[in-house]
Chain A
Amino acid sequence: NAGVTQTPKFQVLKTGQSMTLQCAQDMNHNSMYWYRQDPGMGLRLIYYSASEGTTDKGEVPNGYNVSRLNKREFSLRLESAAPSQTSVYFCASRVGTSNEKLFFGSGTQLSVL
């Protein structure tokens, strides 16, 4: 069972470079999420998608864009990376109703120099 798959696992960027983090789930979930996790700050919601074709901002959306490509895939793009975006990024998904468990990917560790 693949669950939630994130690629890449590690990435180093230079300031100003762009990149896209990929996320795919094979559980037929409607809702998908992007979080970042920083020491002392906990998990913070960047963007989420309640269903295919919809996206909404979370707590910390600045500097990021997302695409819900289809029901399975939800990508996170950094257009011009900044050192403040150094973090561990997690993708998550759930069926769609609020009373369902959230499933996480294994994360992407991103460093911006």
Chain B
Amino acid sequence: KQEVTQIPAALSVPEGENLVLNCSFTDSAIYNLQWFRQDPGKGLTSLLLIQSSQREQTSGRLNASLDKSSGRSTLYIAASQPGDSATYLCAVSSEWWDDKIIFGKGTRLHILP
């Protein structure tokens, strides 16, 4: 059974710092991995999707990497801003034919002004 873990559960950093959020998964046979952002009281917004054949994806100040063999992904946020404060979740799809998507519990990020 696929399990997705995100450590730490919460993180506070001063504005302007670069930071890395971590995601690990137990079964390396994934089809893709997504990073999401969730603001309090809101739904989730997909930030980046990395296919299993890819090593990384970039969008603006965000860069997500994937190492399937070690079961790890990282989300790098450059030059953090107070508006980046949110919960960040990663999720994996295990097979191309399997419509299940398994989520980690998220990292709650607080950027200090």
Mutual binders A and B: yes
Q: Which residues of A are interface residues toward B (Cβ below 8 A)?
A: 4, 31, 33, 35, 40-45, 48, 50, 56, 58, 90, 92, 97-107
The residue that A98 contacts in the complex, of B41, B93, B105, B106, with Cβ under 8 A, is B93
Q: Is B19 interfacial (CB-CB < 8 Å)?
A: no
Which residue of B is nearest A106, CB measured? B43
Chain B residue contacts of A31, Cβ below 8 A = 99
Q: How far is the CA of A48 from the CA of B43 in the complex (A)?
A: 17
Chain B residue contacts of A43, Cβ below 8 A = 44, 89, 91, 103
Across the interface, do A102 and B91 meet the contact criterion of CB distance under 8 Å? yes
Of A41, A97, A105, which is in contact with the most chain B CB atoms at under 10 Å from its CB?
A97
Known interface pairs A102-B34, A104-B45; 5 further A-B residue pairs with C-beta atoms within 8 A, sorted by A's residue number: A41-B105, A45-B102, A50-B99, A100-B49, A101-B49
Ranked 8 nearest A-B pairs via Cβ: A104-B43, A42-B105, A43-B103, A101-B46, A104-B44, A98-B93, A106-B43, A50-B99
Chain A residue contacts of B99, Cβ below 8 A = 31, 33, 48, 50, 56, 98
Across the interface, do A98 and B89 meet the contact criterion of CB distance under 8 Å? no
Q: How far is the CA of A45 from the CA of B49 in the complex (A)?
A: 19
Across the interface, do B43 and A97 meet the contact criterion of CB distance under 8 Å? no
Nearest chain A CB to B92's CB is how many angstroms away?
Answer: 10
- In the assembled complex, 8 residue pairs joining A and B whose CB atoms fall closer than 8 Å, in A order, are A31-B99, A33-B101, A44-B103, A98-B31, A102-B44, A102-B46, A103-B46, A105-B43
